[in-house]
Amino acid sequence: MYVVTGATGNTGSEVVKSLLAKGQKVRAVGRSLERLQPYVAEGAEAFVADLSDAAALTQAFKGIQAVYLMLPPNVAAPDVRGHQSLVTTALATAVRQAAVKYAVVLSSIGADKEEKTGPVVGLYELEQTLNSVPGLNVLYLRAGYFMENTMAQAGIISAMGKTAGPLRADLKLPMIATRDIGAAAAEALIKLDFKDHQTRELLGQRDLTMNEVTAIIAKAISRPDLQYAQLPDAHLRPAFLQMGLSADMTDLLLEMAGSLNSGYMKALEERSARNTTPTSYETFVVEEFVPTFKGKSQAA
Ligand SMILES: NC(=O)c1ccc[n+]([C@@H]2O[C@H](COP(=O)([O-])OP(=O)(O)OC[C@H]3O[C@@H](n4cnc5c(N)ncnc54)[C@H](OP(=O)(O)O)[C@@H]3O)[C@@H](O)[C@H]2O)c1
């Protein structure tokens, strides 16, 4: 039996599907039975629990082969780091109490740094905390920048006629589709060929700049003049707040963007076959971005 946290999310859903496709038993953890239902229909066992509930998670983790762990984002939390710490403590407590032997954990580039990486400091803390659990073999998948982050550009294009954000236009970023993270995590869970504490970066199909991202979107939506604008923090802060992010999350995201822009937060591994994953941004745009963009354009 495998346990998958965040089972209804971007990466967790892929982990569940991949494991089920390989004939494995899966316990899918989420907060709502209703949202877990599609995975139950595919053969998973539903386990309803909040990831801050160590006692419930201990029950979920007892006697299992391995677990997929991720720290759920809570963008509206007034104290984002506090929420991350709460979940981290509960996950580590449950892993220890249930004597879990193997965990594959979603982390991020930048999780090597103790500070100044915004929400990724929470992943540094998660790694450090799990490293202190005796007898746990753990693989940290340090993923690059999610292609899914660029979905917000669908609304921005509709509203502003351009793509925009805090990142430098010419900053090369490893961009990854979350489906590739899920597939890599499922493969690691099946193989269980890691020992003690290991990290592996997942850097997507290639590095891309926001100018390149914009050019790919421009071609796919037939807007050849589409341009990217890097906006100052003072301009972005009210926009993030309006989107429902807490003031704390807004500050953390702007801190992270600054650290990416300066090169302080970056991938540490050379690109290789091992850390390169298949889905190109062109494929992501055709399959995910364009349908959403068309939906928004029609609704407008
Ligand atoms: N964005 C990036 O560029 C990037 C890059 C590297 C790493 N990361 C990391 O990736 C992680 C997010 O992964 P993801 O995109 O797969 O997650 P996601 O799609 O946001 O899904 C998280 C899932 O967790 C569940 N959840 C939320 N709060 C919960 C709680 N309190 N208790 C139990 N379940 C809860 C939700 O399901 P229910 O609502 O059904 O419970 C949700 O579907 C974060 O840790 C982030 O730092 C992000």
- pLDDT per residue, tens digit, the chain (300 aa), is 999 999 999 999 999 999 999 999 999 999 999 999 999 999 999 999 999 999 999 999 999 999 999 999 999 999 999 999 999 999 999 999 999 999 999 999 999 999 999 999 999 999 999 999 999 999 999 999 999 999 999 999 999 999 999 999 999 999 999 999 999 999 999 999 999 999 999 999 999 999 999 999 999 999 999 999 999 999 999 999 999 999 999 999 999 999 999 999 999 999 999 999 999 999 999 999 999 999 877 776
Atom number, ligand 1, closest to the C-alpha of residue 87: 31
Give the count of beta carbons closer than 10 Å to the beta carbon of residue 208. 23
Q: What is the chain's length?
A: 300
* φ, ψ (nearest 5 deg) of residue 262: -85, -15
> Which residue minimizes the CA distance to atom 40 of ligand 1?
30
CA 66 to each of CA 43, 59, 87, 176, 193: distance values in angstroms, whole numbers, following the listed order: 18, 14, 19, 24, 12
Q: Which protein residues are within 6 Å of ligand 1, measured from CB?
A: 6, 8-12, 30-32, 35, 50-52, 70-73, 106, 108, 119, 123, 143, 145-146, 149, 178
Its CATH architecture, for the domain 2-146+176-202, is 3-Layer(aba) Sandwich (3.40)
Residue nearest to atom 14 of ligand 1 (CA): 10
Residue minimizing CA distance to atom 43 of ligand 1: 9
Helix axes 54-61, 80-97, angle to 10 degrees: 40
What is the DSSP code (8-state) at residue 73? -
Shortest-distance Cα residue to atom 42 of ligand 1: 9
Q: Report CA-CA distances (Å) from 233 to 167, 173, 238, 257, 258.
A: 10, 20, 9, 10, 10
Q: Quick one: CA dihedral 124, 129, 131, 136, positive or negative?
A: negative
